[in-house]
A = this chain, B = another copy of it.
Amino acid sequence: TRTIKLAVVAGDGIGPEVVAEGLKVLDVVLEGSDVSVERTPFDLGADRWHRTGETLTDADLEAIREHDAILLGAIGDPSVPSGVLERGLLLKLRFALDHYVNLRPSRLYPGVATPLAEPGDVDFVVVREGTEGPYVGNGGAIRVGTPHEVANEVSVNTAFGVERVVRDAFARAQARPRKKLTLVHKHNVLVHAGHLWRRTVEAVGAEYPEVTVDYLHVDAATIFMVKDPARFDVIVTDNLFGDIITDLAAAITGGIGLAASGNINPDRTTPSMFEPVHGSAPDIAGQGKADPTATILSVALLLEHLGLTDEARRVFDAVAADITERGTAPRTTSEVGDALAARVATAARVSG
């Protein structure tokens, strides 16, 4: 038997609710298999910060490192100054654990509501760089609060960092039927960073002659995202542009209630982290209103990352079947979790 050591960071707001459903489905899909999960809950987020002033200590980080993967709910609360938990906890995890591939698949399942009139057949994946760009925290300000304040933010991009994520994106494009890769950047304005990205895509692309390479400025990419999202297959982009276009991608494929993500270290030297794209939604926390589907899909990405391909597929299939049939009648968080768990269990019995 194989034991998976899972660090669970439920976090703030709706985080604990959706994570509970993710774990429910994880348990069901592994039932009767020779894989067991050993969970360690980590008390991180707004409550901990209010109690102790800590966001993520070295000891927390060392303890998390001992795990095979992390399931994260959501981080952030209006009672904490903006940036404290984002930078001190969520981004600190991504950076410290070198999650350089922030993987965000977007797929429009049949029957799912979309704001687009004619969405077409949408099925792409964004490979967002996760450890560089304007997210590095290399900003600063002088004369704060005076009329002479200057606040800078620095986007740092390295050949090392860009190449490894571009390689990952090409490998993913190569493995997909359409074999298409779109670089999204803004190299006509951010010339230094942009040209590094561009040259890197060109150089790595030479090793992937079967992959068609395409480029879009980020502003133009948002246009295609609403006018012809079916054109996308694999998108590779920097940390900030990836943040922006994946929320838009989620919006056109059924909303952030369905958008899953993996913060992945493909070198497997640290645990990768799986989380819904949505935030902590404090306005609906504790009311059983949150849709746990994004978290459950994140569990599927986690299973895939751990090589449990069949289990991952069963979760994906359960979600696909459910969201196609779920209609518009509101269900509680646990009702959605129960429905997906039941589908996964049935699929298990059929194939097992």
A-side residues, CB < 8 A to B, are 76, 82-83, 86-87, 91, 114-118, 134-135, 139-141, 143-160, 163, 186-196, 198-199, 218-220, 222-223, 225-227, 240, 243-248, 250-252, 255-256
Neighbouring B residues of A243 by C-beta, 8 Å: 186, 189, 218-219
A228 to chain B: closest residue by CB: B115
Neighbouring B residues of A134 by C-beta, 8 Å: 134, 153, 155, 189-190
Query: How far is B191's CA from A158's CA once the two chains are assembled, in angstroms?
Result: 22
Known: A153-B192, A222-B245, A227-B251. 12 other contacts (CB 8 A): A82-B191, A83-B187, A134-B155, A140-B192, A145-B199, A151-B157, A151-B193, A152-B193, A153-B193, A219-B247, A222-B247, A223-B256
Neighbouring B residues of A190 by C-beta, 8 Å: 134, 139, 153
Neighbouring B residues of A148 by C-beta, 8 Å: 158-160
Is the beta-carbon distance between B157 and A152 smaller than 8 angstroms? yes
Q: Smallest distance from the beta carbon of A237 to chain B beta carbons, Å?
A: 12
Q: Smallest distance from the beta carbon of A119 to chain B beta carbons, Å?
A: 9
Neighbouring B residues of A156 by C-beta, 8 Å: 150, 152
Query: How far is B158's CA from A141's CA once the two chains are assembled, in angstroms?
Result: 9
Neighbouring B residues of A135 by C-beta, 8 Å: 189
